[in-house]
């Protein structure tokens, strides 16, 4: 069974999507459509912008979404997923590629998500840190015992868990985790504490937009970040998508569940190959491939 994976923030790079634009007329049309929906030339920033330009949340999220969805569309009849999943932002790409959302609605939601998250980060000084070489239970315990807001945010692979919260609380937890035996704790260069209670104002803003958007049944089950379970019911998908902003990304659990449910081939669609790297740390036995357009 084939599973398609869609990356989240951090997969962007200068020149992203230019190969698709140059090769496919339909891709050109979709890039132009995206520019019109957003009201600015995203394609110009993607093709010609610097790393710094692409690092702004309001640019990063739409850029990764547009790149991923267009790549899936350009696969044509070869895109026949039995399962779909996306890491954080990538869940919107997975839902759009899987026809639960239209391209227009998906992009509008992603822009609103990016703006809401940006606004939330300005209200609280917050950050994230990657914890390497510790078991999940120890990280969870240290976060629970640390004063202030700090929570597990991204279960990326065994021995790699990202924590998120108020800056001081994250720093305190980082010290305790080093003492508990972490191989490394790396402070991340991010705009704020994603997938933590700090994002509550953004969750409220996004909930309104999601509740006003039409969702359809996807062409294949989408393994959602919040539950790590397959969903096809539009109302349940909507509910999980709203919860996602303040809940952890259960990526390790999602991939393990997909394999348990019969996935034997994994394909990463969109910029970068971060998810294939995580997949190999979760399970080296399954087939994995990056979708490329040579």
Catalytic residue among 67, 87, 195, 247: 195
Catalytic residue among 68, 88, 164, 254: 88
Residues 89 and 80: their CA atoms lie apart, in Å, by 21
State the distance between the two ends of the chain, measured CA to CA, in whole angstroms: 25
Whether 101 and 95 have beta carbons less than 8 Å apart is answered as yes
Among 163, 159, 160, residue whose Cα is nearest residue 150: 163
Asked if 67 is an active-site residue, the reply is no
| Size (the chain), residues | 294
Alpha-carbon separation of residue 90 from 95, 107, 170, 242, 276 (angstroms):
9, 12, 25, 14, 14
Asked if 88 is an active-site residue, the reply is yes
Compute how many other C-beta atoms are within 10 angstroms of the C-beta atom of residue 233.
Answer: 12
Whether 18 and 103 have beta carbons less than 8 Å apart is answered as no
Active site residues: 88, 195
């Amino acid at each position: 069974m084939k599973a398609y994976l869609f990356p989240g923030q951090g997969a962007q790079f200068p020149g992203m999507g230019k190969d698709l634009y140059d090769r496919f007329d339909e891709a050109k049309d979709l890039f132009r459509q995206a520019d019109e929906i957003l009201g600015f030339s995203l394609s110009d920033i993607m093709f010609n912008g610097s790393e710094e330009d692409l690092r702004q949340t309001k640019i990063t999220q739409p850029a990764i979404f547009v790149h991923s969805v267009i790549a899936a569309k350009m696969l044509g009849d070869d895109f026949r997923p039995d399962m779909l999943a996306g890491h954080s932002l990538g869940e919107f790409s997975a839902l759009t590629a899987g026809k639960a959302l239209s391209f227009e609605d998906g992009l509008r939601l992603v822009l609103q998500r990016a703006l809401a998250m940006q606004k939330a980060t300005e209200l609280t000084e917050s950050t994230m840190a990657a914890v390497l070489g510790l078991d999940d239970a120890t990280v969870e315990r240290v976060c629970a015992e640390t004063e202030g807001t700090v929570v597990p945010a991204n279960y990326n692979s065994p021995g790699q868990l990202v924590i998120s919260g108020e800056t001081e609380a994250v720093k305190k937890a980082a010290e305790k985790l080093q003492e508990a035996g972490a191989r490394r704790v790396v402070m991340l260069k991010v705009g704020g504490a994603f997938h933590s209670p700090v994002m509550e104002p953004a969750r409220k803003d996004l909930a309104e937009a999601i509740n006003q958007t039409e969702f359809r049944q996807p062409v294949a089950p989408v393994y959602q970040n919040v539950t790590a379970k397959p969903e096809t019911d539009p109302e349940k998908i909507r509910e999980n998508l709203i919860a996602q902003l303040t809940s952890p990304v259960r990526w390790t659990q999602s991939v393990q569940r997909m394999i348990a449910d019969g996935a034997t081939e994994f394909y990463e669609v969109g910029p970068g190959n971060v998810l294939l790297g995580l997949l190999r740390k979760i399970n080296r036995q399954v087939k994995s491939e990056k979708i490329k357009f040579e």
